[in-house]
């Protein structure tokens, strides 16, 4: 049994002091190295986990390939019914799973529960989608011909997730991949193995209850070796990877090498712009949540605050005041706003980051140091720095906010777009004309005169270019809300070094399928042949 009483609830979600970390062909096993799961709040061991070996991997993939043949033949709405049951099973354990996310990842409890809710919502979304994987009929240019487009499953989808969203990101991918007719092979982060096990047990329970092969959902606790195996495996048609741009690029190269498909959700370096007409209170609240929430370990965390010179000091003063009130502590304790960083290494990276920031002319306005304790706690930090400093172009995965000044909107947008990453962005303003420039469309209020000028010619129309995004170059372009907290209904992802992938809602499902275009003609008048 667990030596610590506070870990006892884990039994209710199938986690023990020693765990086998692979779900292979419907059975739990693991012959790889034994690792420990560590509580980031005190660096004590929660439990032990045996990871996957390459033999475990091979055995699992053989079974998964067989399961793929049968799963893709089950009608999509019936696959949706399985995902519906998974959603219900998760609902029944929402509190315990949320607590585990908070315990093992280190995010505060409401965020832990919120994250499990997100995968439940993804299940609901996917159930509806399972009846809407519609193809289309395209008008043929030839008489008596028909052209159809149909969506088919890929086969097997590999999902490699990161420590910061160990549940939700699995949900974005797996719920959709499953209803689209694919088997899923999941590798969770090496430092969140208990979440990988607990989630898999719930999904496995549903498959078992429905007499379906467990290999439909295959999962591994493991590190780079298993990640590598997934990237190299020709049996895996799509690899969805969440992590750093550096590793993501390597995954993409490996997968491309074998003509596989890749879906990348990589580093962000997200900015909030505050205009001179902004609702300052709203902006300050949003920046606090975006920069300090999840201890700055979301890919959508606000890392750069771009302030109009006329509101610079006001925003900064208010922000410094609220930063001082942030309650730091045990993420499971009520009222805590800032939990620990996920690992000791993240804390070291934070310390190293502070040195680099100072050496590049950054002025630390608050924070800037670690908190001496058993856990990985650091002070939330605000740094005044030039947008051109090299360190500003990188993603330091910690609650560190860079502030900088601008005079014109054009300048602010240029700063927003001046980093290699392109995930999320937000502007605070009350003016519709600014909003439309920000989202990359010409000023909506000028549309009439623009059309007039385009039709009848004018000097001023030359400034507009309809093809190039004129505003934020990110995948997520927000107005008067934080950079983080994206809803599942939209397509989630970013451009440039963020990788270009789109997950969760909208038409992201198309990436988990492939299409065939059918063309044919009627042989006799009246008889229609459609390429069967």
Q: Is 484 in the site for ligand UN1 (CB under 6 A)?
A: yes
Backbone angles phi, psi at 88, to 5 degrees: -65, -40
Least distance to ligand UN1, CB of residue 292, Å: 13
Looking at the Cβ atoms of 39 and 242, the one nearer to ligand UN1 is 242
For ligand UN1, the closer CB: 56 or 473: 473
User: Which of the following is catalytic: 265, 395, 495, 503?
Assistant: 265
Strands 44-50 and 34-39: what pairing? antiparallel
Cα angle 150, 155, 160 (rounded to 5 degrees) comes to 120
- Residues 159-188 touching ligand UN1, rule: CB under 6 A, are 164-165, 169
Of 485, 490, 500, 520, the one binding ligand UN1 by CB under 6 A? 485
Please report, for residues 11, 36, 70, the alpha-carbon distance to residue 15 in angstroms, rounded to integers and kept in the order given.
Answer: 5, 13, 30
Question: Which of 299, 307, 435, 497 is the binder for ligand UN1 (CB under 6 A)?
Answer: 299
Q: Quote the CA–CA distance of 150 and 133 in Å, as a whole number.
A: 9
Known catalytic membership, residue 12: no
We find the least distance from the C-beta atom of residue 299 to ligand UN1, in angstroms, to be 4
Closest CA to 230 of 204, 261, 199: 261
Query: What are phi and psi for residue 476, nearest 5 degrees?
Result: -115, 120
Q: List, edge to edge, every strand of the sheet that includes 381-384.
A: 363-366, 381-384, 400-406, 302-308, 270-274, 424-428, 476-479
Asked whether 233 and 240 are in contact (CB, 8 A), the reply is no
Residues 111-150, mask of contacts with ligand UN1 (x by CB under 6 A): ----------------------------------------
Footprint of ligand UN1 on residues 219-278 (CB under 6 A)?
242
Q: Which stretch binds ligand UN1 (CB under 6 A): 149-157, 202-210, 297-305, 375-383?
A: 297-305
Q: Taking contact as CB under 6 A, which single stretch among the options 22-30, 60-68, 225-233, 481-489 is the one that binds ligand UN1?
A: 481-489
Which position has the token pair 């777009």?
Answer: 417
Query: How many angstroms separate the CA atoms of 36 and 364, rounded?
Result: 36
Q: Which residues contact 115 (CB under 8 A, 6 or more apart)?
A: 98, 101, 107, 165, 166, 167, 168
With contacts defined by CB under 6 A, name the span among 181-189, 294-302, 359-367, 445-453 that binds ligand UN1: 294-302
Nearer to ligand UN1, 56 or 121 (CB): 121
- Residue 320 CB, nearest distance to ligand UN1 (Å)? 24
Query: Shortest approach of ligand UN1 to residue 296 CB, angstroms?
Result: 11
Interface positions, 2-31, toward ligand UN1 (CB under 6 A): none
Question: Which positions from 440 through 479 interact with ligand UN1, judged by CB under 6 A?
Answer: none
Least spacing, CB of residue 203 vs ligand UN1, in Å: 20
- How would you class 141 by CB atoms within 10 Å of its CB: exposed for 0-12, middle for 13-18, buried for 19 or more? exposed
The encoded tokens of residue 269 equal: 């370096």
When binding is defined by CB under 6 A, the residue of 300, 416, 426, 511 that contacts ligand UN1 is: 300
Out of 486, 491, 497, 513, the only residue in the binding site for ligand UN1 (CB under 6 A) is 486
Nearest to 42 by CA among 335, 329, 346, 333: 329
State the Cα–Cα distance between residues 169 and 162, nearest whole angstrom.
8
Nearer to ligand UN1, 96 or 164 (CB): 164
Residues that bind ligand UN1 (rule: CB under 6 A) add up to a total of 10
Other CB atoms within a 10 A radius of the CB of residue 32 amount to 22
Grouping H, G, I as helix, E, B as strand and the rest as coil, residue 111 is helix
Q: Which is nearer to ligand UN1, 85 or 421 (CB)?
A: 421
Which sequence positions are flagged as catalytic?
265
Chain contacts with ligand UN1 (rule: CB under 6 A): 164-165, 169, 242, 298-300, 484-486
């Amino acid at each position: 049994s667990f030596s610590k009483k506070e870990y006892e609830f884990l039994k209710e979600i199938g986690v023990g002091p020693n765990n086998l970390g692979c779900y292979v062909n419907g059975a739990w096993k693991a012959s790889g190295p034994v690792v420990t799961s560590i509580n980031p709040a005190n660096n004590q061991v929660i439990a032990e986990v045996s990871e996957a070996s390459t033999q475990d991997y091979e055995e699992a993939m053989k079974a998964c390939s067989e399961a793929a043949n049968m799963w893709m033949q089950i009608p999509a709405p019936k696959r949706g019914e399985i995902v519906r049951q998974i959603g219900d099973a998760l609902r029944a354990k929402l509190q315990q799973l949320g607590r585990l996310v908070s315990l093992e990842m280190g995010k505060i409890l409401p965020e832990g529960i919120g994250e499990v809710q997100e995968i439940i919502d993804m299940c609901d979304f996917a159930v509806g989608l399972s009846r809407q994987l519609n193809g289309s009929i395209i008008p043929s240019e030839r008489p008596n011909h028909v052209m159809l487009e149909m969506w088919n499953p890929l086969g097997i989808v590999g999902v490699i997730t990161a420590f910061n969203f160990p549940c939700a990101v699995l949900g974005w991918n797996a719920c959709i991949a499953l209803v689209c007719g694919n088997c899923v092979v999941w590798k969770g982060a090496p430092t969140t193995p208990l979440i990988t096990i607990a989630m898999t047990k719930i999904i496995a329970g549903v498959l078992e209850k429905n007499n379906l092969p467990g290999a439909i959902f295959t999962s591994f606790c493991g590190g780079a070796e298993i990640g590598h195996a997934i990237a190299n495996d020709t049996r895996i048609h799509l690899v969805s990877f969440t992590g750093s741009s550096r590793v993501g690029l390597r995954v993409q190269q490996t997968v491309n090498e074998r003509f596989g498909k890749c879906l990348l959700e990589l580093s962000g370096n997200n900015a909030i712009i505050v205009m001179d007409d902004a609702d300052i209170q709203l902006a300050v609240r949003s920046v606090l949540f975006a920069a300090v929430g999840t201890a700055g370990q979301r890919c959508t965390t606000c890392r750069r605050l771009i302030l109009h010179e006329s509101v610079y000091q006001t925003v900064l003063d208010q922000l410094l005041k609220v930063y001082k009130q942030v309650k730091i502590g045990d993420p499971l304790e009520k009222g805590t706003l800032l939990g620990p960083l996920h690992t000791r290494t993240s804390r070291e990276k934070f310390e190293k980051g502070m040195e680099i920031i100072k050496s590049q002319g950054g002025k630390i306005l608050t924070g800037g140091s670690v908190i001496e304790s058993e856990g990985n706690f650091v002070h939330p930090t605000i740094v005044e720095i030039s947008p051109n400093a090299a360190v500003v172009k990188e993603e330091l995965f910690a609650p560190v906010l860079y502030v900088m000044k601008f005079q014109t909107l054009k300048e602010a947008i240029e700063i927003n777009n001046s980093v290699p990453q392109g995930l999320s962005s937000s502007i605070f303003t009350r003016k519709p004309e600014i909003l439309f420039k920000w989202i990359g469309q010409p000023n909506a209020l000028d549309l009439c005169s623009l059309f007039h000028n385009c039709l009848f010619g004018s000097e001023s129309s030359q400034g507009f270019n309809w093809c190039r995004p004129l505003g934020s170059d990110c995948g997520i372009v927000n107005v008067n809300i934080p950079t983080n907290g994206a809803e599942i209904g939209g397509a989630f992802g970013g451009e440039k070094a963020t990788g270009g992938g789109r997950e969760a809602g909208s038409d992201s499902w198309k990436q988990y399928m492939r299409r065939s275009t059918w063309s044919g003609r009627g042989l006799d008048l009246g008889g229609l042949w459609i390429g069967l």
